[in-house]
């Protein structure tokens, strides 16, 4: 189908979603959320797709919510229900990304602000250009970090840094974000596209199910005791130990060749 606010393409097992409102720094609207739901649901049902790359068009990754969007307007003197916007759009987007059947890469090509920063952090790997930055801008308009921001930030950088980012609303340069462990990698702008392609191709031939189970196990860990987590890991190891990709991985290791994983 034709999208207005995003682009969506699939090639060689790599799905690419680009937030495509460059004149508005790719800020979110209700229409963009609806299109993202369609694209992500399509990825979820397409067994040929092995990895998702999420990025933005132009000079920004995403500037967060478009405050001029219909859902954010005052109507007959009544303030909008922002909680409903979060529940209807942002909660659904984060949960879809976190439950996606393939690994995800956020390719942060510029400013990632507000919900845009949190959506990037909802992906499995975050790669940013050196010119990119992350901004928790919510305190500037009297709100709190949403879209999982209050969950992702303390886990990634610790409570002290998370609180500072949220309360002071200072820009965090991508290089410092990488140093702090907020993101996986920061790379030179000139090398960014090639680096994203390399990582996407690497993940597109990896054992997809094992990567997704890794995500699930790591996100489950904070709510488990060590004993519970060991049992949780055991359940996934049992499942994966019976998978075709495990059999292929062992065979390739024994035969000293590159594995041919199918994602099954």
Mean pLDDT score, 29-47: 97
Exposed / middle / buried, residue 78 (Cβ in 10 Å: 0-12, 13-18, 19+)? exposed
Strand 133-135 vs strand 111-113: parallel, antiparallel, or unpaired?
parallel
Mean pLDDT score, 29-54: 97
Per-residue confidence (pLDDT) for residue 70, from 0 to 100: 83
Would you say residue 80 has pLDDT above 90? no
Mean pLDDT score, 233-242: 97
Would you say residue 1 has pLDDT above 80? no
Distances (CA, A) of 193 to 19, 102, 112, 217: 16, 21, 17, 30
pTM, to two decimals: 0.94
Per-residue confidence (pLDDT) for residue 76, from 0 to 100: 80
CA separation for the pair 24, 28 (Å, rounded): 9
225 CB-near residues (< 8 Å, 6+ apart): none
Mean pLDDT score, 132-137: 96
Q: Look-up: residue for tokens 């060991």?
A: 230
Per-residue confidence (pLDDT) for residue 2, from 0 to 100: 87
Tally of CB atoms within 10 A around 196: 22
CA separation for the pair 65, 30 (Å, rounded): 9
Exposed / middle / buried, residue 129 (Cβ in 10 Å: 0-12, 13-18, 19+)? buried
* Max CA distance (Å), the chain: 72
Tokens of 167: 């309360």
């Amino acid at each position: 189908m034709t999208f207005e606010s995003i682009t969506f393409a699939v090639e060689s097992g790599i799905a690419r979603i680009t937030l495509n409102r460059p004149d508005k720094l790719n800020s979110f609207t209700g229409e963009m959320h609806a299109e993202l739901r369609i694209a992500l649901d399509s990825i979820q049902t397409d067994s040929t797709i092995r990895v998702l790359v999420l990025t933005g068009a132009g000079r920004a990754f995403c500037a967060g919510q478009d405050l001029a969007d219909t859902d954010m307007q005052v109507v007959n003197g009544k303030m909008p229900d922002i909680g409903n916007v979060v529940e209807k759009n942002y909660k659904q987007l984060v949960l879809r990304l976190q439950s996606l059947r393939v690994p995800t890469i956020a390719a942060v090509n510029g400013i990632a602000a507000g919900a845009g920063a949190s959506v990037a952090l909802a992906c499995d790997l975050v790669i940013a250009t050196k010119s990119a930055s992350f901004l928790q801008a919510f305190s500037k308009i009297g709100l709190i970090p949403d879209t999982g921001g209050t969950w992702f930030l303390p886990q990634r950088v610790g409570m002290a840094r998370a609180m500072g980012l949220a309360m002071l609303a200072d820009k965090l340069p991508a290089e410092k974000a990488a140093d702090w462990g907020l993101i996986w990698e920061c790379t030179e702008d000139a090398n960014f596209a090639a680096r994203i392609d390399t990582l996407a191709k690497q993940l597109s031939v990896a054992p997809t199910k094992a990567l997704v189970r890794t995500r699930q196990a790591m996100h489950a860990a904070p709510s488990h005791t060590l004993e519970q987590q060991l049992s949780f890991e055991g359940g996934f190891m049992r499942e994966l130990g019976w998978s075709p990709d495990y059999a292929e991985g062992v065979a390739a290791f024994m035969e000293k060749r590159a594995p041919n994983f199918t994602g099954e």
